[in-house]
Chain A
Amino acid sequence: MSVTDFWTPFELNSFLNALFIGLSIASIWLIAAVGLTIIYGTMGVINMAHGELIMLGAYTTYVLQTFFYIPFLLCLPLVFIIVSIFGLFIERTIIRRLYNRPLDTLLATWGLSLILIQGVRVIFGTAPKYVSIPSWLNFQVSLGFLHLPGFRLFIILATAALIFATWYIAYRTTWGIRVRAVMADPDMASSFGIDSNRIYSITFAYGAGLAGVAGALFGGLKTLLPDMGSGYIVEAFLVVVVGGTQLLGSIFSSIILGELASIFSYFTNDTFARFVLFTLIVIFLRFRPQGLITEGMKRR
């Protein structure tokens, strides 16, 4: 194998396109991670079943499309509602009983993920399922150097919209102020009359709903299988760990990781890109274990 086989020769247009692909990868990673960030940031719950919530979102879309003939765009809000109701249910039945016991939550949510995988396998069988994307998204953006499939552009826009909505809720509504108060100090927040249990429930439901929408979007990219969630959970955790537990941190880390993944795989290949990326993450975490952006100090 000669050197030129390994290194792709540099070409400006393709490289610029690789940057756009990086953005597209970043949007996928970010939307997979954002629910996890919110749940972990607010509640300190490491939700191992997050990938399975994504999977449920994808399967819900499949069911809505196949059995109820609901158009894809309408599926997105419906999936959000359905998966958040499910999230609310598991928060009330399982997670609530395990606050202040982080290790037990880890085990419980992992167990839950296995239950969900098997449950879906029992109901839908192991044969792969597919979500069909509307034909008007089957276009290509070709502007000079830029080549991007329409559906990927749609995912970038959808991610941006969801992130904006989340930011708006967290920083521009009373509920958001309460959530941030609970994040900063649950006991102090309660003493001001904020029902932190209620905040936790709704936050968990919201995070689950976001995972569901992520799943609905991924359904257009990937085959639906009961264990598809495990493929996203690693990337989602990487984004959260590198970014720190804040929304802004996740945005930065997903863009950095997505771009690095795309640039490395442009110059070398996909396999080597992963290797380099994971190595860099390990080195980064050695020097900054708290991640890119961390919570501000508690004011006492």
Chain B
Amino acid sequence: MTITRRSLIKRSSALALALSTPAIFRPSSARAQPWISKNGTIKLGVLFSQSGPLAVVENDSTQVVLFAIDEINANGGVAGMQVEPVVIDAKSDVKVYSEKISQLILSDRVISTIGGYTSASRRAVAPFVMARDHLFYYPTCYEGRECTQNVICTGPLANQHSQDLIPFMVQNFGKRVYFVGSNYIWPKESNKVARVWLEKVGGEVLGEDYVPIGGSEFAPIFNKIRQANPDFIFSTLIGDSDVAMHKQFLSEGFKADKMPIASLTTGEIEVRAMGAEAGAGHFLSAPYFQALDTPTNNRFVEKYLGSKYGGGGVTHYNMEETYLAVYFWKAGLEKALAQTGDIEAITPRMIRDASGGVTIGDEISPEGKVWIDPDNFNMWLRPKIGQCQGDGQFKIIKVADQHVGPNPFEIYPDRGVCKADGLHTPAGAIQKGVL
């Protein structure tokens, strides 16, 4: 038999098909090996950066997950089993995130993973999580516009913080705004949304600038800000750059009472890093502040800072949302177990499906009662606005009267409505795994 070019193509494509087939059947073969085995522990992936520019924030994320797991294990674990964290350092590098999520799923065989602080990392991880029908908890604020069946987010969406913050700032300081952000998807998308809120109250964007993640050269931007002379700065900088910008704001001679920075990210941990002097007077919209005076939060702050994980010295919104993610995971797992009755039969996807509507009450949640939206699997919460004080703590100035529901497609109504089974488009189709 001679090999012609055509037969080669045919045969090689048949070979390729044969090779790819096992991957198609992998979910069913995986059933033979349970995600949780009765005699072992329950493995939970913990994927945050412990080094690099994002470590300023994400260090605490790892710590608080370990703290929450200790707390859960001390209280009898989940369904009588101990939880075992599998901790990986993602090194502030999106490539490491996507590489390590596969390792967590395929080789460590964790039941779920909690991780990420930037949307870049969530987007690096999501395709792998969806391909394995696994479950990923993303525990901080983000831009929305996603509708996947494998990610649960425990932070606020754009309609749960900037929609509140922008009108507040315009009312109190003026309509002329300068946007500064880190150069990746979340700040760009957040600024796009912020423009919409700003237009609604008659505001004006004087300029929009981005620096690379970890970038610390703000002199050219402050020069332009001085020329534009805005009423306030809207910042979506993250980590290291956020700290550098606030410090340079001060050293450039700007004053927080004349031109405050309104941020979605500058919380207690960033202020601690930059020094309270550089943080004082600026504003943050978040669902949680360390200064929140409730019995649960006071207990949480005292217990966390007194534990071996509390070396960071403060609690902050990102950390609290990460803490909630662990408890949401526990609640979801217990609900899934109640539905199936067999812990070895539980798959990551079952936990996700069971999590719709799961509530964490005042007695556990430091920010107060929160629950997971049964349609889009983001969180219902009460947005708050705080102003940083001279001691590095925030004074809470405004608390929403009632819970605000998440709407990932708030400024994209034409895209459709996100439901549990996918994005319902206006044309009547259902799109799955919309990133």
Report which A residues bind B (CB closer than 8 A). 5, 8, 11, 13-14, 17-18, 21, 24-25, 28, 121, 126-128, 130, 138, 140, 142, 147, 149-152, 221-223, 225-227, 231, 261-262, 265-266, 269-271, 273-274
Q: Residues of A contacting B216 with CB < 8 Å?
A: 221-223
Shortest distance in angstroms between A172's beta carbon and chain B's nearest beta carbon? 34
- Interface mask (B220-253 → A, CB under 8 Å = 1, otherwise 0): 1101101100000000000010011000101111
B383 within 8 A of A: no
Q: A140 and B227: CB pair below 8 A?
A: no
Give B219's nearest chain A residue, CB to CB: A21
Q: B52 and A227: CB pair below 8 A?
A: yes
Q: Residues of B contacting A262 with CB < 8 Å?
A: 219-220
Q: Residues of B contacting A5 with CB < 8 Å?
A: 205, 207-208
Q: A149 and B52: CB pair below 8 A?
A: no
With contacts A25-B219, A128-B273, A227-B51 known, is A14 near B208, CB below 8 A?
no
Q: B273 and A147: CB pair below 8 A?
A: no
Q: For A25, A151, A269, which residue has the most chain B Cβ atoms within 10 angstroms?
A: A269
Q: Residues of A contacting B227 with CB < 8 Å?
A: 8, 11, 13-14
**Alpha-carbon gap, A14 to B51, bound state (A):** 37
- Please tell me which one of the listed residues A13, A147, A225, A271 contacts residue B240 in the complex, with CB atoms under 8 A apart: A225
B209 within 8 A of A: yes
Q: B223 and A127: CB pair below 8 A?
A: no
Q: Residues of A contacting B311 with CB < 8 Å?
A: 127
Give A22's nearest chain B residue, CB to CB: B220
- Not counting A226-B51, A261-B220, A266-B224, a sample of 4 additional A-B residue pairs whose C-beta atoms are within 8 angstroms of each other reads A5-B205, A126-B59, A222-B216, A222-B244
- Please tell me which one of the listed residues B52, B209, B312 contacts residue A225 in the complex, with CB atoms under 8 A apart: B52
Q: A270 and B215: CB pair below 8 A?
A: yes
- Please tell me which one of the listed residues B210, B240, B312 contacts residue A270 in the complex, with CB atoms under 8 A apart: B210
B212 within 8 A of A: yes
Q: Residues of B contacting A24 with CB < 8 Å?
A: 219
With contacts A126-B51, A126-B59, A269-B208 known, is A18 near B243, CB below 8 A?
no
Q: Residues of B contacting A147 with CB < 8 Å?
A: 223, 226, 252-253
- Interface mask (B260-273 → A, CB under 8 Å = 1, otherwise 0): 00000000000001
Q: B223 and A14: CB pair below 8 A?
A: yes
With contacts A149-B252, A223-B56 known, is A128 near B223, CB below 8 A?
no
Shortest distance in angstroms between A121's beta carbon and chain B's nearest beta carbon? 6
Q: Residues of B contacting A273 with CB < 8 Å?
A: 220
Interface pairs (10), CB distance under 8 Å: A126-B59, A127-B59, A128-B56, A130-B275, A142-B253, A147-B226, A149-B253, A227-B51, A266-B224, A270-B211
Q: Residues of A contacting B215 with CB < 8 Å?
A: 270
Chain B residues 138-169 with CB under 8 Å of chain A are none
Shortest distance in angstroms between A225's beta carbon and chain B's nearest beta carbon? 7
Shortest distance in angstroms between A153's beta carbon and chain B's nearest beta carbon? 11
Q: B219 and A14: CB pair below 8 A?
A: no
- Please tell me which one of the listed residues A128, A138, A151 contacts residue B55 in the complex, with CB atoms under 8 A apart: A128
Q: Residues of A contacting B244 with CB < 8 Å?
A: 221-223
Q: B208 and A265: CB pair below 8 A?
A: no
The 6 closest A-B pairs by CB, nearest first: A140-B253, A14-B227, A149-B251, A265-B220, A21-B219, A126-B51
**Alpha-carbon gap, A17 to B216, bound state (A):** 19
Q: Residues of A contacting B253 with CB < 8 Å?
A: 140, 142, 147, 149
Q: Residues of B contacting A227 with CB < 8 Å?
A: 51-52
Q: Residues of A contacting B211 with CB < 8 Å?
A: 270-271
Main secondary structure, interface of A, reads helix
Tally B residues with Cβ within 8 Å of A: 38
Q: B226 and A14: CB pair below 8 A?
A: yes
B357 within 8 A of A: no
With contacts A142-B253, A222-B244, A223-B243 known, is A18 near B208, CB below 8 A?
no
Q: B240 and A223: CB pair below 8 A?
A: yes
Give B49's nearest chain A residue, CB to CB: A126
With contacts A24-B219, A128-B240 known, is A8 near B252, CB below 8 A?
no
Give B206's nearest chain A residue, CB to CB: A5
Q: B52 and A270: CB pair below 8 A?
A: no
Give B92's nearest chain A residue, CB to CB: A227
- Interface mask (B261-300 → A, CB under 8 Å = 1, otherwise 0): 0000000000001010000000000000000000000000
**Alpha-carbon gap, A127 to B273, bound state (A):** 10
B53 within 8 A of A: yes
Q: Residues of A contacting B248 with CB < 8 Å?
A: 149
Q: B220 and A266: CB pair below 8 A?
A: yes
Q: A138 and B220: CB pair below 8 A?
A: no
**Alpha-carbon gap, A8 to B221, bound state (A):** 11
Shortest distance in angstroms between A20's beta carbon and chain B's nearest beta carbon? 9
Q: Residues of B contacting A261 with CB < 8 Å?
A: 220
Q: For A5, A128, A140, A223, which residue has the most chain B Cβ atoms within 10 angstroms?
A: A223
Give B243's nearest chain A residue, CB to CB: A223
Q: Residues of B contacting A150 with CB < 8 Å?
A: 251
Chain B residues 40-56 with CB under 8 Å of chain A are 50-53, 55-56
Q: Residues of B contacting A221 with CB < 8 Å?
A: 216, 244
Q: Residues of A contacting B243 with CB < 8 Å?
A: 128, 223
Q: Residues of A contacting B210 with CB < 8 Å?
A: 269-271
Q: Residues of A contacting B183 with CB < 8 Å?
A: 270-271
Give B275's nearest chain A residue, CB to CB: A130
Q: A231 and B220: CB pair below 8 A?
A: no
B217 within 8 A of A: yes
B214 within 8 A of A: yes
- Please tell me which one of the listed residues B212, B223, B252, B275 contacts residue A140 in the complex, with CB atoms under 8 A apart: B252
Q: A223 and B273: CB pair below 8 A?
A: yes
Q: Residues of A contacting B217 with CB < 8 Å?
A: 25, 28, 270
Shortest distance in angstroms between B61's beta carbon and chain A's nearest beta carbon? 13
**Alpha-carbon gap, A129 to B252, bound state (A):** 22
**Alpha-carbon gap, A189 to B367, bound state (A):** 73
Q: B207 and A8: CB pair below 8 A?
A: yes
**Alpha-carbon gap, A21 to B218, bound state (A):** 10
Q: B240 and A21: CB pair below 8 A?
A: no
Q: Residues of A contacting B55 with CB < 8 Å?
A: 126-128, 225
Give A127's nearest chain B residue, CB to CB: B59
Q: For B207, B214, B227, which residue has the most chain A Cβ atoms within 10 angstroms?
A: B227
